[in-house]
Structure 1
């Protein structure tokens, strides 16, 4: 198979992040292939990428810690595409797959990626590659925030329902059988309801914490996809059951954020600290969980909400849009097509 693998590839890369990654991405038609593309390690797969999607980690890490990357660097971890060759016996050349790479590798904004066993999963029939490309980080994050902690009949509050993780979260919670309340801005209320949300709070016209207090609802699980401040957590004892759990996934590798997190974890309850269990979920790649999400997608219970598709040459525009914080669902970048 090695003879069928080209010596170079097209990739959107950066060498500087001055002014932001969105201003520095340029297509390199002669980018080198990923390391070990022609000598795959055990349990790895070489994938020709069809689509990728940017996530906040793709710019937060690169904008704040650019020195940890070899230049030129290729961002993005989420991918869908087709197997070129694999050392896994269950994956065959030409088979559609999806998943994500592992940092610090990134690389999915290039035509080829080398992916480990847990991050490369067969794509079921009737699920489009474009849809599958969106699952990598946000779909799996939503799954890991909900499925281990919720059961049918539970009441879940999702702060931030219209972004990538939120749109997956609403649908996964409904697939589990939960009652879902979420927040978004007015223009996205109908979107969240169409995904299955039972109640939507427009944070532009209502104070979210006051609204939750007034409702009298006691939630079994709260997922904060925003975590702009810890205020939602400090007040959680008003609307989260004592047996409930407060989970967040959001954050920036910055000193103010780290200080906020330290206060949450270390401030004693007896001195006015948080009154409910708090957990910061970090993503753990799981082929089994990817397969579960893919099955839900095949059954029509879960779908990716795609706001816009970009060409490889437009990757900078995709990152600019993502950084705006106003994305509805996901942004998809076509890398090599289907």
Structure 2
């Protein structure tokens, strides 16, 4: 089968489309014919081996997982004898980040817990855009951010993959949502239901009088003290993306501020979870969230896809059609 292979850390140019052996499902695995995949920040970490600490999970000197790709959507081709949730012919989508990656390929064999039935209303490309980004938005706001109906929620970096889902998910919880983005993305956030949109090229939300009960930092370069200033008493800041300096401050200063004040601040890493993926599926089927796709690339254009994605300006998700 055709698959994207990476044998060393580096730029997108190290990604090679080649022929590898088609996997066979083990007793507890599902063999999926992949129709589409998508890019996430984790793909860049796996590509570059940066930050360096990530190499303890991904491989110290070279990638532990030679075929990258986490989010997929496709059709079940075969199942192992111990599989109970799926059968051949069903359309599925899933997150492979906890079971060896491998999504940038024509086939992948994975444990059934990594998958869920694909929402019928979505195409394969749309479904592939969902898993990691949507579950990250859900877990960061619901589990870490303790989101409640009626709260004022701000999403900084609201027009990217995680951000577009975060705006919609926060609305589904009954929050009053403010999205921060550049001028060209204002219409997108308004179409997704954001109550307020701040154009960061014209306004700095940290300098405004408005305070927020929950701030999700998906992008940006603000020091963590700026976010602290923008929180209400008992407010929560959750960092899921942004500059390296911002990440370092969230991991080091965040716990300190949380310990000695009434505002909680910290970082968050998404965990693959089948139950949460099914929860997202229900929101999609109820018409409460929909994926936003910026660009589609063919598997043979994987280098171009990564080069575009790493610029950091995608409106929603970048999808790979297989």
TM range (shorter): 0.7 to 0.9
Q: How many residues align?
A: 309
Is residue 139 of structure 1 aligned with residue 131 of structure 2?
no
Q: Tell me which residue corresponds to 2:105.
A: 110
Is residue 219 of structure 1 aligned with residue 209 of structure 2?
no
Q: Which residues of 2 match residues 222-237 of structure 1 at below 5 A? A: 222-226=215-219, 228-229=221-222, 231=223, 233-237=224-228
TM-fit CA distance, 1:178: 1.0
Q: Which residues of 2 match residues 4-153 of structure 1 at below 5 A? A: 9-18=1-10, 20=11, 22-28=12-18, 30-34=19-23, 37-38=24-25, 40-42=26-28, 44-64=29-49, 65=55, 67-70=61-64, 73-86=66-79, 87-103=82-98, 105-148=100-143, 149-153=146-150
> Given the superposition, is the C-alpha separation of residues 256 and 309 from structure 1 closer, same or farther in structure 2, using an over 3 Å criterion?
closer
TM-score (norm 2): 0.88
RMSD of equivalent CA atoms: 2.3
Is residue 241 of structure 1 aligned with residue 249 of structure 2?
no
Q: Secondary structure at the match of 1:321?
A: helix
- 1:209-253 superposed Cα distances (whole Å, 9 cap, x missing partner): 113xx2xx3322111012534x2x31344432222211111268x
- Asked if structure 1 preserves the Cα contact closer than 8 Å seen for 2:171 and 2:177, the reply is yes
State the alpha-carbon separation in 2 of the partners of residues 123 and 203 from structure 1.
36
TM-fit CA distance, 1:16: 3.4
State the alpha-carbon separation in 1 of the partners of residues 39 and 119 from structure 2.
23
Q: Tell me which residue corresponds to 2:296.
A: 309
TM-fit CA distance, 1:129: 1.6
| Structure 2: tracts of 5 or more residues without a match | 50-54
> Which segment is superposed worse, 167-176 or 147-156?
147-156
| Structure 1: tracts of 5 or more residues without a match | 1-8
Is residue 185 of structure 1 aligned with residue 178 of structure 2?
no
- 1:266-314 superposed Cα distances (whole Å, 9 cap, x missing partner): 46876xxx76211322212221211121122122221110011111100
TM-score (norm 1): 0.84
* Greater Rg over alpha carbons, structure: 1
**Which residue of 323, 328, 336 maps to 2:310?**
323
> Given the superposition, is the C-alpha separation of residues 242 and 186 from structure 1 closer, same or farther in structure 2, using an over 3 Å criterion?
same
Q: Tell me which residue corresponds to 2:205.
A: 208
- Asked if structure 1 preserves the Cα contact closer than 8 Å seen for 2:73 and 2:128, the reply is yes
